[in-house]
Amino acid sequence: MGVKFFGQYLIESGEVNVEQVRAALELMGTENRSIGELAVEGRLLTKADADKVNAEQRHRDMPFGELAAEMGFLSEEQIDNLVQLQWRTRLRIGQALVRSGHLEKARLEELLISYEEEQAPHRIENHALPEGLASNALAPYVLDLFTNLLMRVARIATRVGIGESIVEPPNFPIQVAVSVSGESGLLICLVGDEDFSRTLAAKASRLDPECLDTEMLFDGVGEFLNVLVGNAMAIAESNGISMELGPPQTEIDFESGFLFELVVNVGNAALFLKPL
Amino acid sequence: MSDKKLTVLIVDDSRTVLAQIESVVAANETVEVVGTACNGAEAVQQVSQLHPDLVLMDIVMPDVDGLSALRLIQSNHPETRIAMLSSVGAMASKAEEAFRLGAIQVLSKPIDEDILGALFAQECERARPEGGSQ
């Protein structure tokens, strides 16, 4: 069992079906207010200015708040407050299912407890962060999940060392990174020798290690990173932080950032994090 | 659906994921993989050519991503059953958008083979002449 969306958990549990989830999402779409609507309601923005931002959004693929700040209508602080307000007042999927009549309120409360219990193993101890990473909202989740996920997915036991500012690029044959863009951008890179990478790629995919060519080693390590970072982003998002994940990459810029030595029971490896 | 197997198209930019799902399918005599694609554009093309019963599709892929492909496939072939299988499937924003666009399930990675097996069983059952109504 991995980290999962509450609506998917309800479908898998047989509590609701996909059509009922869709109906609840429709209700959320009509009830939940956009950043622009909240800004107008809070008199931070006139309707005319909000319309100007919306019109500009049709030509540029940018979030409303970011564009409104660029156009000089809202300050960074106002946008942060609006995002928090939007998050606090948002109708959530469970509540929407109750409102749509597909779930009893008392049953929702029971299911939220079961869901939290099932998800609890994915929320583990806090990890000490070096100063340069302390303000990054995603890095703690990545580090917290790393050890647990590596064991669960590949049966590799790990101890994560203290992150230190990188002095020179790590020298490992397999190096894969994924980058996360958004309000807490981060490059996450896992590097390892052939033993570590082959074990990880094979166990994570349940394929025969001898069948994996070099490209599949990169690919398997990249897939593990995707799962690690996707799960970390899901937890960050449940705390109101939004971001986007890019596909794995093998061209990595190691200038600045933090290297975490890994003590693993197979081969050698390290984790590199760099705020973007 | 006594003789006909459930036909599946797998869409993922990871060769290891494609190989893993193919091995799960190979062990299931009611399901067969009729095609694979490594990005959303290929997926749209393959659905038009192969008309699979079920599409299993990643979300984060280069060029045309899974949600854009889901939108295109649902618009051209609304009868296609598509389940998303992604490392960002647990993110409420992605899962909600996928369901809104017509996904029948949003599974998060790593792949849980039991849940995948249950999805295949559900879709086989649904494809029977007297099958379910979901």
Residues 153-172 of A with CB under 8 A from B: 153
| Shortest Cα–Cα distance, B61 to chain A (Å) | 6
Domains defined for chain B, CATH in brackets: 6-125 (3.40.50.2300)
> What gap in Å lies between CA B28 and CA B80, rounded to an integer?
21
The closest alpha carbon to A5, from B96, B102, B56, B120, belongs to B96
Of B49 and B2, the structure prediction assigns the larger pLDDT to B49
Select from B16, B60, B93 the Cβ nearest to the Cβ of A237.
B93
What confidence tier does B129 reach under pLDDT thresholds 50, 70, 90?
low
Chain A residues near residue B112 by CB distance under 8 angstroms? 1-2
State chain A's maximal CA–CA distance in angstroms. 64
What are residue A229's DSSP bridge partners?
A: none
Q: Which residues lie below 8 Å from residue A75, measured CB to CB, with a gap of 6+?
A: A69
A140 SS3 class:
helix
How far apart are the CA of A27 and the nearest CA of chain B, in angstroms? 11
Distance separating alpha carbons of residues B98 and B16, to the nearest angstrom: 24
**Which chain B residues contact residue A246 at CB under 8 A?**
60
Q: Peptide bond before A247: cis, by omega within 30 degrees of 0?
A: no
Q: Residues with Cβ < 8 Å from A90, sequence gap 6 or more?
A: A28, A32
Confidence of residue B134 (pLDDT cuts 50, 70, 90): very low
Flag whether pLDDT at B88 surpasses 90.
Answer: no
Give Cβ neighbours of residue B105 (< 8 Å, ≥ 6 apart): A8, A11, A18, B83, B84, B119
Q: B63: distance to nearest CA of chain A, Å?
A: 10
pLDDT at position A125: 53
Nearest to B87, CA basis, from A8, A138, A2, A274: A2
- Cβ atoms of B111 and B85 within 8 Å: the answer is yes
At residue A65, the 3 state secondary structure works out as helix
B100 contact residues in A (CB cutoff 8 A): 22, 25-26, 29
Average pLDDT (B62-77) is 92
Pick the residue of A8, A145, A228, A243 with the most B CBs within 10 A to test the interface with B by mutation.
A8
pTM of the model as a whole: 0.77
- Set out the domains of chain A in order of their start, with CATH numbers: 6-121 (no CATH), 131-275 (3.40.1550.10)
Q: Regarding beta strands B6-11 and B54-57, do their DSSP bridges make them parallel or antiparallel, or are they unpaired?
A: parallel
10-residue averages of pLDDT along chain A (276 residues): 80 91 90 90 91 85 83 88 84 92 92 84 63 86 87 86 85 93 89 94 88 91 92 83 85 90 89 92
DSSP assignment string, B82-125: EEEEETTTT-HHHHHHHHHHT-SEEEESSP-HHHHHHHHHHHHH
ipTM of this predicted structure: 0.80
Distance in Å, alpha carbon of B11 to nearest chain A alpha carbon: 14
C-alpha distances out from residue B83 to A196, B8, B56, Å: 32, 11, 5
Residue A239: predicted pLDDT: 76
- Surface of A (29-88) touching B: CB under 8 A: 29
Pairing of strands A258-264, B31-37: unpaired
Write the CB contacts of B92 (distance below 8 Å, at least 6 apart in sequence).
A5, A6, A7, A93, A234, A237, A238
Per-residue confidence (pLDDT) for residue A153, from 0 to 100: 87
